[in-house]
Amino acid sequence: MGAAATGDGATAVNSRTDLALTVPSEAFVSPADIAAGPGLRKVPDEPRNFVGRRDELHAISKGFDDGAMMQVLYGLGGTGKTTLAAQWTVHHADQYHPVWWVDGRSAKSIASGLAGFGGRLQDVVAKIVTPEALSERAQQWLMSHSGWLLVLDNVNDPDDVRFLKTIARDHGRVLITSRLAAAVWHDIATAVPVPLLSEEAAVELFTRICTRHEGRVVAEARRLCAELGFLALAVQQAAAYCLLEEGLTPHRYLAKLAEFPDVMHQAPYEGSQLERTMAGVWEPSLDRLADTPLAGDVLRTLAWFPPAELGLATTNVPRPVLHPLAPPPALHKALLRLAAHSLIGLDQENVRVHRLVQAVARTPSEGSAHRMPHQIEAARARAEVVFGTRCRDDFRRGTS
């Protein structure tokens, strides 16, 4: 067919167009033959307010030195797992090449992170192939090279990273952060617990952020950190709030927390997100327990058990006390699922629950699917029957 043109001022075009696609030669190079450039690194900035954690930092290094290919930092949401991983990675990045940090929340985000790595390996090829192909090439590269480090932050499903066992073997190292308990990782990675901060570290964290160092403020900060159960995220949130509002001392912050618990639990400081507040940090875990409704009921009921005395971060609830809540198999399943998500601790005699998990779980919030007012009232009624005592009003306000 020849050229055609229509309308005034139209340009004649050939109705048959020959297209030629030029594929760069780099696309045909095997990933095994690609050298990683000297600048191939994606790591977060060094945490500005990192405190304590000497034992945990040593445990990570020793684990890799002793031959572990994959390690997982696990613990309750808000303990500082991501901060710990970032601190260790920044200070050990020169021992590995390349180093790549990946959002581990889902299989999709992991694939996207690996595709980003593949694209940095061959930026020319990245322009002509799909993200799926880039992810596959990245995995082929990792399997054929050694000395690299992958960090996967906030992994929610062990099956999303199971494929890395084969890839990492005798080639590289994988560091994971997750809220899922050690038992969940037994056949995938060496588990490194991330406990609560020590009292001294918690106070240091508070005073680093809230830089008013008068002796009275430091003494009050010690009491506040104890009320918050030495949970890193809670201490950070409280300190930033006190710094933002001039004249707000730790003592006055505690008073506000008692009077307006829901508002204070979800009060983010500038630039933070709700998920990084006490109101939001455990919501994703509870979302994943939605297929076991009894788990949420049990946690909300545990919230009304008299909290541990000040200075003790966790409350021990004798397991037999909970027997009236449900038939033994159903109750056992609910407890195991809560423990798997690090929302409680579990042994043969007791259920252990963090005092701040209790405080948040008994605070009604219209914005939470897990703390609606009617759910909190029902939990309080159950607790009064199960625990055989009237739940104190100040428990409702979130204080001990």
pLDDT of residue 221: 93
pLDDT of residue 5: 45
| Phi-psi domain of 150 (left: phi exceeds 0; alpha: psi -120 through 50; beta: other) | beta
CB 250 within 8 A of CB 223: yes
C-alpha–C-alpha distance, residues 234 and 173, integer Å: 31
34-193 CATH choice from 3.40.640.10, 3.40.50.300, 3.30.450.20, 3.40.50.11780: 3.40.50.300
CATH level 2 (architecture), domain 283-386: Orthogonal Bundle (1.10)
Residue 168, CA atoms < 13 Å, CB-side half-sphere: 21
- Find residue 74's DSSP bridge partners: 178, 193
CB 174 within 8 A of CB 150: yes
- pLDDT per 10-residue tile (average), the chain, 400 residues: 45 46 69 87 93 97 97 97 98 96 98 96 84 95 97 97 95 98 96 97 94 76 94 93 86 90 73 64 90 96 89 92 95 97 96 95 89 93 82 48
C-alpha–C-alpha distance, residues 255 and 248, integer Å: 10
pLDDT of residue 123: 82
The amino acid sitting at 341 is H
pLDDT of residue 9: 43
pLDDT of residue 202: 97
What is the token pair recorded at 237? 């949130």
C-alpha–C-alpha distance, residues 205 and 52, integer Å: 9
Give the rounded distance of the alpha carbon of 319 from its chain centre: 28
CB 65 within 8 A of CB 174: no
CB 89 within 8 A of CB 99: yes
Best CA proximity match to 357, nearest among 322, 319, 317, 387 = 317
pLDDT of residue 4: 46
Whole-number CA gyration radius for the chain:
26
Contacts of 105 by beta carbon, 8 Å cutoff, 6+ apart: 154, 155, 156
What is the token pair recorded at 38? 């000297």
